[in-house]
Each structure stands twice: as structure tokens, then as C-alpha cells.
Amino acid sequence: MQPVVAAQSTAIHLLNCFTCNARVPARLRTGTLCLLVETDCGLVLVDTGLGEADYAHKTAILRAFQVVTRLPLNPDETAVRQVVSLGYRPEDVQEIVLTHMHFDHCGGLPDFPWARVHVHRRELEAFQGRPKRWTDLAYVRRQIAHKPEFALYSETGERWFDQAAIRLPFAPEMWLVPLYGHTRGHCGVAVRTESGWHFHVGDAGPVGLDAYTPDWLARAVLGPHTPRLRAFRDAHPEIVMTTGHMWLDFFEAGLGG
Ligand SMILES: [Zn+2]
């Protein structure tokens, strides 16, 4: 199978790095969105999806997902294979930014063992600490067993639009936008692309920000931000907004949305 790749411009590629479909209803098919951004520091990968080791030795949580969802589990969806099929070398990815450290967002870290990993300090602390809530069970320790170099961030008082944000050390501009709730250190990532801002809100909102999710469920699983993020999207139609999990149509359409 060809990797599912959509290029928004020459500067940013939208990759599906883990397909996860509902059993019922079967039409609910999603991919896990990772951004591959061309910057002055080389390629910056935002989230990784699953990695080669997840296919070779399935984690307990992945086996649990296999029971409750339909997973094609195609290793061609790994970020490292898609980077290669885009014509780059894996070593061209020297920097990885994480929205959060759940298994479906950072499983690919071991495929880029040399890469520096940029994440909010609170998120790494939550990952390494004792589980405090059921969503912490989606942290898989072995995914950082290779001991990557971390660049950790905390709030600085800066803002991106009307939101507290932390500037990342790349050009074009990239910002970590704290959106706590899904996990204790979860952040969105804003990227200035050739065609304008792209705001990836990770798992702070339901699929495409549009999927119907009861308020109590969204709040429990995704955190409190969905209404505010929808209002921000309505106020800024010029900004492309994506979520950590997007309908497969988004990737198949080649441009998203
Ligand atoms: Zn998550």
C-alpha cells in the first residue's frame, strides 16, 4: 500500500501514522495525524504515530485496541517509512515535537533515536510519574527506552493570538499551545506555513473538531477546550485547524477537509 500522504504546501506534509477504525459503525474510520514540517533546522516531525517496534512487538494497549476497534496495522504507516518514501533520509528528522506522550503519538520515537524531543515539562513528568487517572494507562514506558534527548518547556508569558503559548526554536515560527486536560501536559502546536497558520490541537478536540461527542464525554476524555477551539476556528477561518485523529477522508482527499 502506498503511504497516505497529503502535502499542504512544499513546507508541510500531513501524514496518517496510525489508522484506527470503529467496529460499530464501520463508517467511522480515522487516521492519526502527524505533521512533517520543513524548517531551517531540517525536518521537524510533530507527533510520530506508531513505530516499527509497535508492529514487531505489540504493546498491551495496542492489543486492547485491536479488540475494541478495527486496526489494519500496516507498518508502511510508520513515520519513518513515510519520510523515506517522500525522498528524505530518516536522519533528516533531527527534531520531534509532541502534543502529548500517549502510545499512538510517540510510538515512533525509537525510529529516530538521534532526534531531540520537544515536549511540555508537565507531560514528561506525567509520563514518568505514577498513573493518576485511567488515560495515563496509554503511556508506554518502552517508547523512550532509548533515552532520547528532551527539550522541555514551561509557560513563558508569551501569547499566540489569544492563547498562552511557548515559542519553539524553529523557523518558520512554531509554538506550543498548552491545552491541558486530555493529559496533564497536553499542548497544541501552531506552525506558520507557506500558506498561513496551521494549528494542530492534538487530542484536545474530537475528530476534525466536528465529530459529535457528548459534552460530558469530550470533557472527560479530551479536556475542557472543545467549545473554545470551535469558537477560535469560527473567528479565524484563515487558520487551518486539525486534530490528532482525523477522518480517513481527510487523508484520502489529499489536502484535508
Ligand atoms: Zn491521546
pLDDT tens digit sequence for 133-147: 888 989 999 999 999
Bridge partners for 99 per DSSP = none
205 alpha carbon – ligand 1 mean position (Å): 10
Angle of helix 215-222 relative to helix 226-235, nearest 10 degrees, comes to 100
139 alpha carbon – ligand 1 mean position (Å): 9
Amino acid found at 218: A
203 alpha carbon – ligand 1 mean position (Å): 5
Continuous segment of H or E residues that includes residue 74: none
pLDDT of residue 256: 40
- Does the structure show a pLDDT above 50 at 131? yes
CA distances from 52 to 35, 101, 107, 160, 180 (A): 18, 17, 8, 35, 29
- Does the structure show a pLDDT above 80 at 77? yes
Q: Per residue in 45-69, pLDDT tens?
A: 999 999 999 999 999 999 998 888 8
Show the cell assigned to 24: 460499530
102 alpha carbon – ligand 1 mean position (Å): 5
Q: What is the mean pLDDT of the chain?
A: 91
- Does the structure show a pLDDT above 80 at 1? no
pLDDT of residue 194: 83
Q: Which among 2, 12, 1 is positioned nearest to 242, based on CA atoms?
A: 12
127 alpha carbon – ligand 1 mean position (Å): 12
Residue 254 pLDDT level (bands cut at 50, 70, 90): low
- Does the structure show a pLDDT above 60 at 206? yes
204 alpha carbon – ligand 1 mean position (Å): 9
Mean per-residue pLDDT for 189-205? 94
Q: Global pTM? A: 0.93
d(CA 117, CA 166): 15
